[in-house]
Amino acid sequence: MARKRLSPDDPREWLNRAGSNLAHAQNILPDVYLEDLCFDAQQAAEKAVKAVFIKRGVPHPYTHNLAELLKRLQQSGVRIPKYVWQAHELTPFAVVTRYPGLVGPVGKRRYRRSVRIARDVLQWAKRQIARP
């Protein structure tokens, strides 16, 4: 059942979209490339991080670079745990996995790590959004 859509300036909508991307990333189907699912993992982490920007009223840059996003969040006063910094590993999936020939196949181990990182970033972002 689809959730009610919220305003795009509501960080909860960004978390909803991140959750949708994560659910897609976790859904291995026959004939689906793991690198395509890693793209969804990257999108989940990116949208979760951008939700924190929105919650704090800080404009976020239009970039897929998770290290850059986290650095800017940190500069705005948000403490970024070490495990969240691992999100930078997902940045390449934002572009190179979308087209044939730019990267080789992703193995199951890297796929599982990507999903775990995205899940951890989303959980962290949810806790940030829940704070008053």
- Model's pTM, two decimal places? 0.94
Percentage of the chain lying above the pLDDT 90 cut: 83
- Residue 49 CA to its chain's centroid (Å): 7
pLDDT at 3: 72
Q: State the angle between helix axes of 11-25 and 34-56 in degrees (0 to 180), rounded to the nearest 10.
A: 170
Ramachandran angles phi, psi of 124, nearest 5°: -60, -45
Q: pLDDT of 37-63, one tens digit each?
A: 999 999 999 999 999 999 999 999 899
pLDDT at 1: 53
Q: What is the CATH number of domain 11-130?
A: 1.20.120.330
Nearest to 60 by CA among 48, 71, 72: 72
How does DSSP assign the chain, residue by residue? Answer: -PPPP--TTSHHHHHHHHHHHHHHHT---TT--HHHHHHHHHHHHHHHHHHHHHHHT-PPPS---HHHHHHHHHHTT----HHHHGGGGGGGGGTGGGSTTSS-PPPHHHHHHHHHHHHHHHHHHHHHHH--
- Residue spans per domain, the chain: 11-130
Q: What are the residue ranges in the chain where pLDDT is below 70? A: 1-2
